[in-house]
Structure 1
Amino acid sequence: MNHIMEKKNGFTRLHALLVDDDELAQVCRDLPESACSVQPHNYGVHIVSLSLTKIGEGLADPKLVLAWLLDAIGTPTWALGLLVPVRESLAMLPQLAISARIRSLPIRKTVYVSGCVVQGAAIISFGLLGWFAQMFSSGVSGIIAVLLIAVFALGRSLCSISHKDLLGKTVDMGRRGSVSGTTGTIAAMATLLLAVSYSFGWIPLTVPVVAWMVALGGACWLLAAFVFSLLREEPGATEGGIDGLAAVVAQLSLLRRDAQLRRLIITRTLLLSTALAPPFYIALSGDRAVSGLGTLGSFMIASAAASLSSAYIWGRVSDRSSRLVLMLAATLAVVANGLAAFIALAMPSVLQEASLLPVLLFVLMIAHQGVRLGRSVHVVDMADRDNRATYTALSNSVVGLILLAGGVFGVIAQWLGIGAVLLIFTSMAAMAIFAAAGLDDVQAT
């Protein structure tokens, strides 16, 4: 077996450290021998590069850090409200067209590298906006911020669609979940350290300092681009790639032909509640102060601790049954959102307990980690080498289109209260349990 001769380097040593089987006895289930021989090196590249991007996300989290920064420099509320929807929808919607372009490239790692560079440049610019905000009016700062998050989202779109394709080409089935799980754990440790530092005042919670940390997050993406350029990728098939409207029509036809893909998209849509709920937890806490520590540090700690304690476990379980992971994650979301909704509707005075909502957010973010890892591994393992990028792009684009309607929950919160929104999220998660139960156990096949 040629992979026995693979020269030891830092990446292959990392593979030996993290993978609990004997490298010399490695047998690849769905990789050709040429890709199998360099899998230890590529596994390490994925771990290091993806860890850097996730650390960047922790340093510049749009739901918490970027929102705090924009609020602190006085940008309008409409800009804050657009951060997450713009980021999520524009990261998903372009993927139908992008997947056709990627299909025409025999070497696809350059797409991922380019996406990392775009994201890094956008986030560094976000940090610069924080430093030089006094040069602009609040409205102009808001427009610049939304444009930057849109650019960031487009870079994220490039990375999202290309990485799943590259992961399937370079890492064998049974180890892909551990890549995401391990990197999530590493990044969570770094984010948790930052959250604790903010909470205890070890790092001053001021605009210049937070802007500098955001820019540091952007630098992590640039370094991740360099590391990923070291991936040893075999040329992939290029036939069958089509562009434009024809690509959209041809790929949308998969929804008619593939019942399992439809069910996965339905499950993902219902589980959007885990991504949309956290801002309502923060709003429910009544924490509006940007000059004090308030509960911001507690929420950041809860989010980071959830990733740290669950990401690796979710990844390992996903390699055995991504279907089960989605069902368990949906169950946890029902518990967290259900309790938050009950308290908001029936016992609002209990919300004065400072630790209550961060604890519930901790449970919810564990569920969210499971959703992210479970659906990512499921779509990779249910597809094959020829249609993996298409499946990923189609599911992401459809969910991204649905996500554009997520703003309606803000309107519902204004009319009926946050408790009503959380009750809707609870119902969505409950339905997701049954939707996920109908998915094939793709790892078993």
Structure 2
Amino acid sequence: MSETTVDKAYRMLTSDDDGRVCRDIPESACNDQPRNFITHIVSLGATKTADGLIDPKLVLSWLLTQLGAPAVYIGLLVPVRESGALLPQLLTAASLRRLAKRKWAWSIGSAVQGLSAASIALAAIFLEGAAAGIAIVTALGILALARSVCSVTYKDVLGKTVSKARRGTATGTASSLAALFVIIFGVVLATGTLARMPVVLAGLLIAAGLWLLAAVLFSTLQEEAGATEGGENPLSAAMENFGLLARDAQLRRFIAARGLLISTALAPPFMVALGSDGEAENAFGGLGLLVIASAGASLLSSYVWGRLADRSSRKVLIFSAIAATIALAATLTLDAVGLLTAVWGLPAVIFALMLAYQGVRLGRSTHLVDMATQDTRAAYTALSNTIIGLLLAAGGAFSLLAEFAGVSAVIGVLAGMSALSVIASLGLEEVQAKDD
């Protein structure tokens, strides 16, 4: 892609006549911003597509079931994937700060994710039963650890290479492009025109290739060397990072709002369980249901959420929390009147929740990057992600609540959490309006 084409694409996506506007990135990085912007979109779009192709909640759960793996391994998939990607970050952030250019850590992490996805595919081809379960969960754990490295470094690299008021657009565009490809994957699964096992295995191998491609592309970013202070002992760095909570009220409020909004990540399996007694379970071919709903919501909303986040990430979090509350309340209402099991009932509320979920993801990411400085961004990211990882790990308690009080009670609690997040988000500052 020529430089002229890159500049045109940059201006088209940002609605900006001047591709060199820089607010809080080094002046020397201004000329490279259009190229970096497009590189972020392509790299992140590739990894988000790969994420959708191996979705542990759906694709890997189905795969282990088909391979005859014991239920214990199926139950480990989501906790291993979510917590494994977040919990290590508080300990690894300080070590990663020793790297003046953190794009290399992200690239290595992406490459390891690609090799892990390939390992999952090979395990599915050659193993079955408990052996397949052990191998796939182990590979997923390695993938999650590599993802944690990417997560803690990505926002820092984004903050150095793309200016404020452009970051949400970059991540939102990447999400929309990825969603388009995942929708195609979901439609193939849903229609059953091809045997599902070969399609799933092909998806795993394509995901592996996309992660490897992203690793190469991301390494071409023109990243300025950053601060390397703070690379002390991981345990002492972790304690110091927790000290940020005592000193920064806005950080506390942001983590509270984000923590309450884990409701959008935890709710889908319970919604499916509540509406699985009727025709809705098979309306989209079972496996393709959440794939299509999630990817469709991302395709339609991610770019819009990203553009809005560049203007006010605070409002994105507020609107997303309101939307999640409405979607979960609607789920309970449809169930009460017997419409959740209608052919349109469950897909409609899942789609609505996924719209909110995409807003949460883009709003929280943009807000964190813009509220932090270049020196605090990595620490803020690691602290926030570690706390959310702990909360997600504790989210297993909702399964116990469902056992004793019913699935409807769980969805009611999650709706209440979303509503409380509206209140927490109202107190956030308009960080995009701050002068740098």
**TM band (smaller chain):** over 0.9
* Residue in 1 that maps onto 2:85: 91
Distance across 2 between alignment mates of 1:294 and 1:195: 9
Pairing 1:237-248 to 2, within 5 Å after superposition: 237-248=227-238
Aligned residue for 2:30, secondary structure, equals helix
Once the two structures are overlaid, the 10-residue window that deviates more, 140-149 or 34-43, is 140-149
Alignment match, 1:314: 305
2:135 is the counterpart of 1:141: no
Structure 2 distance, partners of 1:159, 1:240, is 19
Q: Does 1:230 align with 2:220?
A: yes
Specify the SS of the correspondent of 1:37.
coil
Moved more, 163-172 or 118-127: 118-127
Matches within 5 A, 1:377-388: 377-388=366-377
Residue matched to 1:268: 258
Measured in 2, the distance between the counterparts of 1:180 and 1:257 equals: 29
Answer whether contact 2:100 2:226 (CA < 8 A) is retained: yes
What CA distance in whole angstroms lies between the structure 2 residues aligned with 1:255 and 1:58?
A: 33
- Partner residue, 2:431: 442
Q: Which residue of 2 aligns with 1:352?
A: 341
Q: Say whether the 8 Å CA contact 1:322–1:441 is kept in structure 2.
A: yes
**Kept after mapping to 1: 8 A contact 2:92/2:234:** no
Aligned partners of 1:281, 1:23: CA distance in 2, in Å?
Answer: 46
Distance 1:81 1:372 in 2: 24
Distance 1:437 1:213, change over 3 A: same
- The answer to whether structure 1 residue 361 and structure 2 residue 356 are counterparts is no
Deviations 1:325-367 (A, max 9, x none): 00100111111111212344x34x4333122011100000000
- The aligned residue for residue 18 of structure 2 is 23
Asked if residue 67 in structure 1 is aligned to residue 58 in structure 2, the reply is no
2:292 aligned to 293, 301, 306, which one?
Answer: 301
The residue number in structure 2 matching 1:394 is 383
C-alpha deviation, 1:9, in angstroms: 6.1
State the Cα distance separating 1:248 from its structure 2 match: 0.9
Gap change, CA 1:265 and 1:374, over 3 Å in 2:
same
Whole-Å Cα distance in 1 between the matches of residues 190 and 230 of structure 2? 53
Kindly state the Cα deviation for residue 12 of structure 1 after the two structures are TM-superposed: 4.3
Shift of 1:46: 0.5
Aligned-pair CA distance for 1:277: 0.7
Matched to 1:157, the amino acid is S
Q: Which residue of 2 aligns with 1:370?
A: 359
Q: 1:10 to 1:157 in 2, by over 3 A?
A: farther
Is 1:163 aligned to residue 154 of structure 2?
Answer: yes
Provide the C-alpha distance between the structure 1 equivalents of 2:427 and 2:150, rounded to a whole number of angstroms. Answer: 29
Q: 1:78 aligns with which of 69, 72, 75?
A: 72
Report the Cα distance in structure 2 between the residues aligned to 1:182 and 1:58, rounded to whole angstroms: 16
The one of 43, 54, 57 equivalent to 1:49 is: 43
Extract unaligned runs of 5+ from structure 2.
none
Per-residue deviation, 1:18: 2.1
Cα shift at 1:148: 1.4
The answer as to whether partners of 2:276 and 2:341 remain within 8 angstroms in 1 is no
Aligned residues: 432
- Identify the residue that residue 9 of structure 2 maps to in structure 1: 14
Aligned partners of 1:12 and 1:44 also within 8 Å: no
Matching residue of 2:105: 111
Residue 241 of structure 2: aligned partner: 251
- Partners of 1:291 and 1:143 in 2: how far apart? 29
- What SS is found at the alignment partner of 1:352? coil
Alpha-carbon deviation of 1:11?
4.4
Compute the displacement of 1:286 (Å). 2.4
1:197-252 deviation per Cα after TM superposition (whole angstroms, max 9, x unaligned) = 222233332x2331121121111101110111111111111123322211011111
- Structure 2 distance, partners of 1:163, 1:84, is 22
Q: Tell me if the contact between 2:105 and 2:153 (Cα under 8 Å) persists in the aligned partners.
A: yes
Letter in structure 2 aligned against 1:246: S
> What letter matches 1:363 in structure 2?
A
2:202 corresponding residue in structure 1: 212
Identity of aligned residues (%): 47
Question: Which among 163, 167, 172 is matched to residue 163 of structure 2?
Answer: 172
CA shift at 1:155, angstroms?
0.8
**CA-CA distance at 1:406 after TM superposition:** 0.7
> Is the CA contact 2:91–2:238 (under 8 Å) kept in the aligned structure 1?
yes
Pairwise CA RMSD of aligned residues?
1.9
8 A contact 1:12–1:43 mirrored in 2: no
- TM-score, normalised to structure 2's length? 0.95
Task: Give me the whole-angstrom Cα distance separating, in 1, the residues matched to 2:226 and 2:370.
Answer: 18
Letter in 2 for 1:95: Q
Q: Map Cα deviations across residues 369-393 of structure 1 (whole Å, 9 max, x no partner).
A: 0000000000000001111111111
Gaps of 5+ in 1: 1-6
The alignment's TM-score, normalised by the length of structure 1, stands at 0.93
Per the TM alignment, residue 115 of structure 1 is displaced from its structure 2 partner at its CA by: 0.7
Deviation at residue 292 of structure 1 after TM alignment:
10
Change over 3 Å in CA distance of 1:126–1:168 after alignment to 2: same
1:51-89 deviations in whole A, cap 9, x for unaligned?
100111121111111111111111122222221111111
Distance 1:288 1:300, change over 3 A: farther
Question: How far is 1:426 from its partner?
Answer: 0.5
Does the aligned pair in 2 maintain the 1:326–1:436 contact within 8 Å? Answer: yes
User: 1-side partners of 2:265 and 2:381: how far apart?
Assistant: 19
Shift of 1:124: 1.3
Q: 1:403 — aligned with what?
A: 392
Q: 2:409 aligns with which of 412, 417, 420?
A: 420
In structure 2, do the counterparts of structure 1 residues 133 and 285 end up closer, same or farther at CA, with 3 Å as the change threshold? farther
Native 8 Å contact 1:287 1:294 kept in 2: no
Output aligned runs, 1:271-286, within 5 Å: 271-286=261-276
Shift of 1:282: 2.2
Deviation sequence 1:93-129 (CA, Å, 0-9, x none): 1111221112111111110001101111111111112
Question: Contact (CA 8 Å) 2:191, 2:285: kept in 1 or not?
Answer: no
Matched-pair contact (CA < 8 Å) for 2:124–2:132:
no
Residue 264 of structure 2 aligns with an amino acid whose one-letter code is T
List, as ranges, runs of 4+ consecutive aligned residues in structure 1 with deviation greater than 4 Å. Answer: 9-13, 287-293
In the alignment, the residues of structure 2 paired with residue 142 and residue 130 of structure 1 have an alpha-carbon distance, to the nearest angstrom, of 9
